[in-house]
Amino acid sequence: MPYKIRPQKQKELSPIEVETRTEKILGKITDRPQFVWGGIIGILLIGAITFTTQYFNRQAEEVAWSIEGEATKLLHDPPPLPKPISEDEEDAPIEIVMNETQRFEKAAALYEEVLSKHANSNAAVVALFESGNAYEKLGANDKAEAQFLSFIQKYPDHKSLATLSHIKLAYLYQLKGDVSGAIEQLRLVYEMPNTDSRDQAGFELARALESQGKTDEAKILYGQLSEEFKESPWGTEAKARFVMLSPEKEPVAESPSADDTPSVEEKPAPITEETPN
């Protein structure tokens, strides 16, 4: 007996919804709005802190450069001339003008203020080098040496001032009688590539070698400097020293030839009187 096959009903499948990560995050944010406000407040705080820090750093930098500028003026500019007093200003208080030593002392104190209160500023780089110059002019050579050594150690990549610090150390060592130490500093600068002070260091190195009796080495160096730095005053001085150390060759006297030998005139024989027989 045949069976009747009933058709099977197909089940309706609901579509699969794929939720991306971004949508999940946005959903969580929507469900918890306090996170949104917390993030906004955090960003605003970070921006405010950054702005405030930059503002105060800029202010501190300006103050540091102001102090450094005053110190540099005292160190390098000549003291002002006294102003003539007119009849109307006879009762005015006399302006006190610092002498040279007082100016150097004040400059050194201002540089130290920059180094102590604004150590991380760009002005502190210049202040450290110039403080060495101030102490050198005051005759405090030990303090000057310490400042130049400190500069070389802290700012070796600051080539222009670092090379000058080496040269300054060489001068200080020469004053102490340490010519070997001076030669070491000067040779170091002279052998540095692409430095602005190679001509000065080379000339001072040759002079130091000459002072130690190493005339031949000094003469070679003078010759190299005069060729390499023809447009530099140090090259001109080197050429003059090279000429002084090069003795002029005396011309070799030529032996006279036979044709050039002057003939000796024969003197006539004396006339003798004959006695008559």
Tens place of pLDDT per residue across the chain (277 aa): 555 556 555 555 555 555 567 766 666 666 666 656 566 777 766 776 666 666 656 787 899 999 999 999 999 988 776 666 665 655 555 556 788 999 999 999 999 999 999 999 999 999 999 999 999 999 999 999 999 999 999 999 999 999 999 999 999 999 999 999 999 999 999 999 888 899 999 999 999 999 999 999 999 999 999 999 999 999 999 999 999 998 765 554 555 554 554 444 444 444 444 444 3
Residue 89: DSSP 8-state: G
Q: Which residues does 24 contact at the CB level (< 8 Å), separation at least 6?
A: none
Query: For the purposes of burial, counting CB atoms within 10 Å of the CB of 138, is it exposed (0-12), middle (13-18) or buried (19 or more)?
Result: middle
CA 218, CA 222: separation in Å to the nearest integer?
Answer: 6
79 Cβ neighbours under 8 A, 6+ residues apart: 97, 98, 99, 100, 103
Domain 156-246: state its class: mainly alpha
Report d(CA 86, CA 177) in Å as an integer: 53
Q: Where are the domains of the chain?
A: 23-78+99-126, 156-246
Separation between Cα atoms, residue 210 and residue 193, nearest integer Å: 24
Q: Model's pTM, two decimal places?
A: 0.68
